[in-house]
Amino acid sequence: MSVGETGIAMLMSVRMAPPLPLMFLILIHGISSAEWGVSYIHPHICALKNSSVIMSCTYAYPTGYQIIKVFWTKNHVKNVEPLDLSEDPEYSQRLQYLGDKQKNCTIRLSHVTQKDSHMYCFRFTTNVTDGKWKGYPGVTLTVTDLQVESPETVTEGDSVRLTCKSSCDLTDRATFIWYRNSQPLTERGDRNNQLLLQSVRREDAGRYSCGVQGHIYISPAVQLNVTYSPKRVSVSISPSGEIVEGDSVTLICSSDSNPPAEINWLKGRKIVGSGRIYSISKISSNHSGEYKCKSSNKHGKKYSAVTLNVMYPPRSVSVSISPSGEIVEGDSVTLICSSDSNPPALNFSWFKGRMIVGSGRIYSISNISSDDSGKYKCKSRNKHGEKYSDAVTLNVMYLPRNVSVFINGSAEIVEGDSVTLICSSDSNPPALNFSWFKENQISSVGSGQSFSALQSGRFYCEAHNQKGSQRSDAVTVTVKGRLMILYISIGVVCGASVLITVLLIWRNRGKRIKDNLKIQSKMDHSRPEDDRYKASDVDTTERLYENVIINYSRAHDDSLNDYDVESTEPVYENVMVSDFTLDIKCLLTKYMVHSIQFTV
């Protein structure tokens, strides 16, 4: 058995975190000899990928021995002849022996990768049979890469810590360098493998990677996602310029947020649409108003507002009356024209019927009268068109006037009959309360629009409404008794009879006088001239009749109810005509006879 097989050189070290340099090396001598051994300065090495690793060691052997061969091998396998790494194609170009054949056995391994992670041992042979030695356990090499450890998402305003991690602690004291989007963050490195971002901003988002100063290797980049609420929210209108009713309009909302914001459109408090673009075709005045783009995500929300000002011609034109309520003659009244238009209407015209009576938004009437009653309307106009209001009626109230009494029939009536008097007036509201008075009497004698008069006298009416009262002029009603009417009837009838009879008599008498005059002028021419003329003077002014006697008689029963004034009996009878006497009896009824006697 060789010395190397009967004795084992063991190197134990306690490695504390860099830069602690203290190491303890304990060499346990083999049983066969205490002079054989291999000592490793760093029995555990953590190397960065693509870096060069130096494995430092020394060896010892008995004095007088000569070193024939030295080499490094890996992965000690018992009872298997180790392989010289300098002859391994995977190592031959990267392995460099830096020691000698006396005591130094240091090597350099370049461009290490994770596949180079093994235990490496130094072996030497001497010129003495079985004089060979293998330093086991050897140097354990761990090759690591770098990884950035970071939260996937961080919210703006929070603090975040990024760590440049390796699978083992690098043996060499490392200075770390941080990159964002492949650009160094600082001019100088930091021995701490952590990067602290306090109160992170959305500008801190990006791809972060790390490296070690003096090494070309840089870790794979990781994305730091900074989330934040919507910012820089704005709304644009297309097309720009004046918007006229009937146009098509598009609203576009822009915002900066992470994660991307949800977009909603509001008019007032009502949601009217969603999405980045909100379109309105055939816009109307109802679309006028403030529109808000609401940009929101889980971190917050933000609004941006814009006003749509839609132009349109006048509409909803109306007239209001001030003061409201009842209008009384003598009041002052104001008519106000209102319209919905954009731009606001500045041109107003007022009409009563078809006649223009004023202009301006307000039309005032002072000391109003009933002549101002009627229908009024206004016309509102702007540059986009014009429209008329519906008509409003001014109904002016006034107390009764032009009060008059109409007699329905004759103002002269027979006792026991009546005549209807009708009161009329001009008033607003129409008079519904009428009172009737007789002159020289304080209290009223009747009410209502019509009144039946039974007595003689002068009557007038008073018309009343809520605004006052007015009286009419008086009219005269005459009531005649039945006897008077009877007398008048008799007189008329008898007078007519007398007149006719007298005319007949007069005619006959004149003829007879003429005949007598002719005879007398032939027979007697001796009579004095004066007597002749007197006898023939038929044109004298003396009365033709005298001693007219009117008598009437009636039965003892004088009840007027028994008068048969409508009797079909002759009105007169027994008319006797003589040369000088006329006796006429007028039979009125069977109860009363009028006798008229004329003496001529």
Q: Lowest mean pLDDT: which of 255-259, 323-327, 533-537?
A: 533-537
Fold of the CATH domain 311-394: Immunoglobulin-like (2.60.40)
Question: In the predicted model, is pLDDT for residue 595 greater than 70?
Answer: no
Bridging pattern class, strands 147-149 and 160-165 = antiparallel
pLDDT band of 496, cuts 50, 70, 90: confident
Confidence of residue 482 (pLDDT cuts 50, 70, 90): low
Q: Backbone dihedral region of 536: left (phi > 0), alpha (psi from -120 to 50 degrees) or beta? A: alpha
Band (pLDDT 50/70/90 cuts) for residue 224 is very high
Confidence of residue 539 (pLDDT cuts 50, 70, 90): very low
| pLDDT tens column, 59-71 | 999 988 898 899 9
How far out from the chain centre does Cα 322 lie?
26
- pLDDT above 60 for 333: yes
- Rounded mean pLDDT, 361-390: 93
Q: Secondary structure of 514-548 in the HEC alphabet?
A: HHHHHHHHHHCCCCCHHHHHHHCCCCCCCCCCEEE
Q: Does residue 36 carry a pLDDT above 70?
A: yes
Superfamily of domain 227-308: Immunoglobulins (2.60.40.10)
What average pLDDT does this structure show over 212-226? 90
Whole-number Å distance between alpha carbons of 277 and 248: 13
Cis peptide before 429 (omega within 30 of 0): yes
* Range from 69-73, 512-516, 556-560 carrying the lowest mean pLDDT: 556-560
- Indicate the pLDDT class of residue 328, thresholds 50, 70 and 90: very high
Structure confidence at residue 216 as a pLDDT band (50, 70, 90): confident
CATH 3.40.50.620 fits 3-143, yes or no: no
Instruction: Say if residue 47's pLDDT is above 50.
Output: yes
**What pLDDT, in 10s, does the model give residues 416-461?**
888 999 999 999 999 989 999 989 888 998 999 899 988 889 999 9
With cut-offs at 50, 70 and 90, classify the pLDDT of residue 504.
Answer: confident
Is residue 13's pLDDT more than 90?
Answer: no
| Residue-range domain boundaries for the chain | 3-143, 145-220, 227-308, 311-394, 397-480, 483-599
The CATH code of the domain at 397-480 is 2.60.40.10
Higher-confidence residue: 407 or 213? 407
Q: What are phi and psi of 561, to 5 degrees?
A: -70, -20
CB-based contact 135:40 (threshold 8 Å) = yes
Residue 585 pLDDT > 90, yes or no?
no
More confident residue, 506 or 399: 399
Contact 256, 231 (CB under 8 A): yes
pLDDT at 81: 79
Determine the pLDDT at residue 464. 94
The helix/strand/coil state of 565 is: coil
Whether pLDDT at 10 is above 60: no
pLDDT value of position 515: 66
User: What SS3 state is found at 128?
Assistant: coil
Q: pLDDT at residue 354 above 70?
A: yes
Of residues 29 and 491, the one with the higher pLDDT is: 491
Task: Find the mean pLDDT for residues 274-301.
Answer: 93
Give the range with max mean pLDDT: 368-382, 404-418, 482-496. 368-382
Between 586 and 165, the higher pLDDT residue: 165
52 or 30: which leads in pLDDT: 52
* The predicted structure's pLDDT at residue 410: 84
Q: Is the pLDDT of residue 541 over 50?
A: no
Q: What is the mean pLDDT of residues 3-14?
A: 35
Six-digit token string for 226: 């900074």
What are the two backbone dihedrals, phi and then psi, of residue 473, each rounded to the nearest 5 degrees? -70, 155
Residue 600's pLDDT is 47
Residue 398, pLDDT above cutoff 60: yes
Q: Residue 562 pLDDT more than 80?
A: no
Homologous superfamily of domain range 145-220 = Immunoglobulins (2.60.40.10)
Q: DSSP state, 561?
A: G
Residues 115-137 have pLDDT tens digits of 999 999 999 999 988 888 888 89
Q: How far is CA 394 from the centre of its chain?
A: 31
- Closest to 382 in 3D by CA, of 288, 311, 313, 284: 313
Instruction: Answer whether residue 103 shows pLDDT above 80.
Output: yes
The overall pTM is greater than 0.75: no
Mean of the per-residue pLDDT values for the chain? Answer: 80
Confidence class for position 27, pLDDT limits 50, 70, 90: very low
User: pLDDT > 70: what percent of the chain?
Assistant: 75
**What is residue 189's three-state secondary structure?**
coil
